[in-house]
Amino acid sequence: MSRLSYGHRVELHSNSAAKALLSLMERKKTNLCVSVDVTSKASFLTIIDAVGPDVCLVKTHIDIIEDFDQDLITKLQELSAKHDFLIFEDRKFADIGNTVALQYSQGVHKIASWAHITNAHPVPGPGIIAGLGSVGHPLGRGLLLLSEMSTKGNLATGLYTESAVEMARQNRDFVIGFIAMSRDSLHQKEKDDSEDFLILTPGVGLDTYGDTMGQQYKTPYEVVFNRGCDVIIVGRGIYGDGKNIDISSVQTQAKRFRQEGWNAYLKRIDG
Ligand code: 5BU
C-alpha cells in the first residue's frame, strides 16, 4: 500500500479529511507537517505564514497559546486558505466518550469547529471514538489514533499497538490513520487491498538525535522510505526554541525538510 502515490490513495478513503489531505499532498507536492509549539499568538501566526507554502498540514497545541482568542482561529483559517494546508490539533484526547465529545466541541477552543484532524489515545477503548465521532464525523473531520509514540520508554508497543489498529479497523469512516513510528503494525495484519491508513510521524529531525526529555529523532528518509510513513511532523527542527524567531532561517529549514520528505516519498513509490 505504501508504494501507491498519495493521489491514488484518495479513492481508498471515504472520510473527507483523509481525501482532502491526500489530494493536497499530491497537488502541492509536500508531506511536511509543521508542529507550531510556541506560546504567543504573534509568533504562532508568523511561523505559520512563513512555512505555509511548504506544508500540507499545520499541527497545533492550541492550549499552550497565552493570548488565545477567536481572532486567532479566524487568522489561522485565513492562512489555511491562503497557503492551502489543513489544520491538525494534536489534542491527544484520552477520556470517556461523553467527556471527549464535550472537550472536542465546547469550552474555550471549540476544536471541532476548526481542526480538520485531531487525535486520541486508544487507552479508554472504542468509546472514545464513538464520543469524538458523534461530534466530528458529521462535520467531515478525521481522527488519528496514537498507536505508537516517539519518546524513550513509552508504553504504546506490542499488543497495545495492535489493539489500536483493530479499533481503527472497526471505525474506518472516522479513524483515518495513526500517529506511529512505522507502517509495520499495519503490514502484518493488512486484511485487504482496499484498506488504507495514513501514518503521521513525529520525532523527525536532521541535526539532532533528541532532547533532554525523552524525545528521539529520526530523519525524514528513515521515516518515509524505510518505515513507510506518510507525513513527517517537525517542530523545533524548523523554528529552534521558538524565541527570537528568524523567519528566513525558518523558511530555509522548512524547505529543507520538505525536500527531504518528498524525495524519500518519490523513491518509495518508485519502488
Ligand atoms: P519537536 O519539536 O519536533 O520535537 O515536536 C514534536 C511535536 O510532536 C510536539 O508537538 C509533540 O507534542 C508531538 N509528538 C511527539 O513529539 N511525539 C509523539 O509521540 C506524539 C506527539 Br503522539
pLDDT of 44-73, one tens digit each?
Answer: 999 999 999 999 999 999 999 999 999 999
What percent of the chain stands above pLDDT 90? 92
HSE at residue 131, side-chain half, CA atoms within 13 A, is 22
Determine which residue's CA is closest to atom 10 belonging to ligand 1.
35
Say what the pTM is. Answer: 0.97
The residues, ordered by sequence, that sit 6+ positions from 178 with a Cβ below 8 Å of its Cβ are: 144, 145, 146, 147, 148, 164, 165, 168, 185, 197, 198, 199, 200
pLDDT at 243: 87
Provide the mean pLDDT of the chain: 96
The answer, yes or no, to whether residue 234 has pLDDT greater than 90, is yes
In short, whether 237's Cβ falls inside 6 Å of ligand 1 is yes
Ordered by where they begin, the domains of the chain are 6-238+246-269 (3.20.20.70)
Strand partners, 34: 58, 234
HSE at residue 160, side-chain half, CA atoms within 13 A, is 14
pLDDT at 250: 98
pLDDT band at 240 (very low <50, low <70, confident <90, very high): very high
* Overall average pLDDT of the 237-264 stretch: 96
Residue found under cell 519518546 = 151
Q: What is each CA distance from 173 to 107, 219, 254, in whole angstroms? A: 26, 31, 32
At residue 145, φ and ψ (nearest 5 deg) are: -95, 145
Determine which residue's CA is closest to atom 22 belonging to ligand 1.
149
pLDDT band at 191 (very low <50, low <70, confident <90, very high): low
pLDDT tens digits, one per residue of 86-121: 999 999 999 999 999 999 999 999 999 999 999 999
Counting from 1 in the atom list of ligand 1, the atom nearest the Cα of 92 is 22
pLDDT at 190: 53
